[in-house]
Amino acid sequence: MKIGVGKEEQAQGAAVEGACTRLVSWLVDAAYPLWSTRGIDSLHGGFQERLTLSGEPTEDARRARVQPRQIYAFSRAPSLGWKGDASGAVAQGLSYFLTRYRRADGLFRTLVGTDGTPVDDRVLLYDQAFALLGFATAAPLMGSSFNLAGEGEQLRQALLKHLKRAGPGFETGLPYGPPLLSNPHMHLLEASLAWLDVGGASEWRALADELGELALSHLIDPVTGMLHESFDNSWKPTKDAAGRLVEPGHQFEWAWLLMRWGQRRADVREAALRLIDVAETHGVHGGVAINAIVKDASIHDGSARLWPQTERLRAAALAARLYGDARYWKMTADAAAGLLRYLATDVPGLWYDRLSPSGEFMRETVTAGNLYHIVGAIYEVAALVRSTGK
């Protein structure tokens, strides 16, 4: 789909194309080379949890979610133009994850030490969702090297056995305990759609449909168009502070997923675009998406982490590609400009994670798992630029 021919529209298209070139160059020339070397543990295997702003690995224990996030990031690398050893990075990550995190029940523990020793044996739905995403995204790259279709199906069955609720959705983890959370269900929808993208069976469509309908019927407030984070056992927002929070980043992220899930349904399109509009109207300040607002749209946390910028960009780029509306092209250009601010570090290939309300970046260690967010956004912007025929 081509953007219109007006001068303003042409300028927005040029801005998007230029931002895409800069983002892809940063990823291919700086980020992938850095994270494929310093971001991989050559002694124990697996991906490092964090790097310092000088590019050195830390000794942090390794969360389960980070390993498949990095598997996802490197599985996307060849299609984005990186000529390095993506297969090697993914293969060692898969081997490490499958041997160090898997429990006897087929689910994956949440934390191991730097040497792979179990530190926290609990199960979180959030981590299982990312395992499924990593397996699906890596499957075309790995071919027969790993039975990733089998791994995905085995984990899907384990989720149904151990975490499926009698009604819609899943428990937050093992052991059971409130609240129910929208965020892991979002990533489970992402994983289900990823399996469908690589030819997954009808069971993945059924799971995606259940999660998409859950969002429409319970997670999104029909009055405000806001998506809540924390719920009781009947899928009503909890009455504590967590139940009142609305995260603009998740509004954008759910919108991106709903657009993919229900492209042919007017009600889904309307809900997705309303999520975007609410987040863009109330959750973007000073050119960046902030961390949290509350139901009356007042600011709860005016800091701005990196990941909401990527999800704003990803949602805008897909909306522009699917619907061609000039406002989404402008939003894509604006979101890309916001994200690029976070990538201007002293060591190319790293990023800042948090921008204070006063406009200063916090000089903190760099969380590896954010590469997943960055790659996902760049992948979507690149798809938008390709769709223009340029």
pLDDT at 6 over 70: no
Strands in 165-239 per DSSP E: 173-174, 180-181, 230-231
Answer yes or no: are the C-beta atoms of 45 and 92 closer than 8 Å: yes
pLDDT at 381 over 60: yes
pLDDT at 170 over 80: yes
Q: How far apart are CA 165 and CA 246, in angstroms?
A: 24
Per cent of the chain over pLDDT 90 is: 95
pLDDT of residue 263: 87
Q: How far apart are CA 181 and CA 169, in angstroms?
A: 10
**Res. 1 pLDDT band, cuts 50 70 90:** very low
Grouping H, G, I as helix, E, B as strand and the rest as coil, residue 62 is strand
- Sole residue written with tokens 């020339």: 29
297-321 residue pLDDT tens: 999 999 999 999 999 999 999 999 9
Q: How far apart are CA 26 and CA 72, in angstroms?
A: 18
62-110 residue pLDDT tens: 999 999 999 999 999 999 999 999 999 999 999 999 999 999 999 999 9
Tokens matching residue 25: 């160059």
22: which residues sit within 8 A by CB, 6+ positions away? Answer: 340
Q: How far apart are CA 98 and CA 67, in angstroms?
A: 10
126-143 residue pLDDT tens: 999 999 999 999 999 999
DSSP per-residue codes, 86-154 = HHHHHHHHHHHHHHHTB-TTS-BEEEE-TTS-EEEEEEEHHHHHHHHHHHHHHHHHHGGGS-HHHHHHH
Name the average pLDDT for the chain: 96
**Res. 3 pLDDT band, cuts 50 70 90:** low
pTM: 0.96
pLDDT at 257 over 60: yes
Q: Determine the straight-line distance between the first and last CA of the chain, rounded to whole angstroms.
A: 11
Instruction: Kindly state the average pLDDT of the residues 23-46.
Output: 98
